[in-house]
Amino acid sequence: MKRLAASKMERCIGCYSCSLACARLVHKRLSWSCSGIRIHTSGGMSSGFEAKVCVACDPAPCAEVCPTEALTQRRDGGVKVNRSMCIRCGKCAAACPVDAIYLGVENNKPYICIHCGRCVAFCPQGCLELVDMETSQPEPNASSETPKEADHA
């Protein structure tokens, strides 16, 4: 299994290309408020940026509190998302220990990284990579990965 890692954030220029790529390619929206990865300043333009992204907990607290099993545990960490089962209660966002689940402003839907890697190729600075969960080593062709999850939208 793979997970997204923001391992080189010292390179980040705050362009939000990764967030927009996730929103457009995974969630079929063009707004960084509908993205599984969020970029925040860590104290101003000169002090750099940080990525808020799912860290693939195992067990995943968000899946444990989901009353409808819209979020289910992935083997080796992280969650699968089934939006058709989501009742928009917000319990998953409240349970996330790293504040990586975002509730959409207009629809209260949860947006969470599914570790598909689609954002990686859109980062002009090479800040993001897919890493193998077993070895935590970067994959050599991470930008060519395709999503493995069945339900993204």
93 residue type, one letter: A
> pLDDT confidence of 107, banded at 50, 70, 90?
confident
The domain at 2-144 falls in which architecture?
2-Layer Sandwich (3.30)
* Rounded distance between C-alpha atoms, residue 8 and residue 152, angstroms: 26
Task: Give 124's DSSP letter.
Answer: T
Predicted local confidence at residue 30, as pLDDT? 85
Predicted local confidence at residue 92, as pLDDT? 95
Residues, the chain, total?
Answer: 153
- Quick check: 138 pLDDT over 70? no
The model's pLDDT over 29-71, given as tens digits with 9 standing for 90+, comes to: 888 788 999 998 877 666 689 899 999 998 999 999 999 999 9
Contacts of 138 by beta carbon, 8 Å cutoff, 6+ apart = 5, 7, 129, 130, 131
Predicted local confidence at residue 135, as pLDDT? 52
